Amino acid sequence: MAMFNDFLSLLFAICLIVWIIKKIRGQTPQQVIRNHRGNNVANEVPRTRLRTVTPEMVETVCNMFPNIPPAAVQYDLQKTGSVEVTCDNILQNGGLPLPPPYVTASFAIPSTTQASTSSTGINTSSTQQSLIEKYKLQDAVKRGLIPPEPPKKWETTAEKRQELLQWKKDAMVLQARERYLEQHKKKQKEEAEAKAKNNLDNSTSFQTQSTNQINLNNTDFEVTLEPDAKRRQILQATERRWKKDV
């Protein structure tokens, strides 16, 4: 009986060893790494290849949708590589998700210069035109219509939900266009005022220089005439003495 129990124990041990070996061989390399290191290597989300993004691309989207953080705009542009696709993502989802912690900003939004401003203005205008054509809003633009924000409610049917979503997209595109036009007019006004002020400063400076030059010439004239006046006084005094002697 004891030998039979020993045989069962040995058989159980052999079966256990075989099961462990099969279990180890059946694991993937990622699972083995995870088991040995105790981390989540196998569950890491694969990082997609990010595209190159210029500051002008980020600024174009931010001008149209100022409520979207630049970091979220940059991250979406790195994935799409297109300003139009990123704008469409904003319209589809109502916003953009923030980048994950391991993604760092490769650049900062630079201060606006005259060259970058003109380039960004052209890009923004062309992007808006593409969105207007895509959503067939030419008639609304001609009539100057800006639809109000759609009501925030859940419709019962899919058709009504689709209509509400389209209403929201149209409103966001037209409102973004209106904001851009207002910013463009404001910028043009500021540039015109700065140019007028610069011209006025230059004119005042020129008048001041002319006045100083005239005063300098008058001073030179007075200094030049001063010896002649002295000579005349001497001649007049000499003439008076001569008359007295005669």
pLDDT in tens, 219-239: 554 545 456 676 777 777 777
List, for residues 150-188, the tens digit of each pLDDT value.
676 777 788 877 787 777 777 777 777 777 778 878 888
Distance CA 193, CA 187 (A): 10
Distance CA 58, CA 108 (A): 10
Q: Phi/psi class of residue 180: alpha, beta or left (left: φ > 0; alpha: ψ in -120 to 50)?
A: alpha
Q: What is the mean pLDDT of residues 70-87?
A: 91
- Find out whether 65 and 176 touch, Cβ atoms under 8 Å: yes
Percent of the chain with pLDDT over 70: 63
**What does the mean pLDDT of the chain come to?**
72
Q: Is the pLDDT of residue 17 over 70?
A: yes
* Cα angle value 84/86/87 (rounded, 5°): 65
pLDDT of residue 48: 62
- Find out whether 119 and 57 touch, Cβ atoms under 8 Å: no
* pTM given for the model: 0.45
Domain chopping of the chain, boundaries: 2-37, 55-99+121-197
Distance CA 35, CA 30 (A): 9
List, for residues 86-114, the tens digit of each pLDDT value.
988 888 888 899 888 876 544 444 444 44
- Find out whether 66 and 179 touch, Cβ atoms under 8 Å: yes
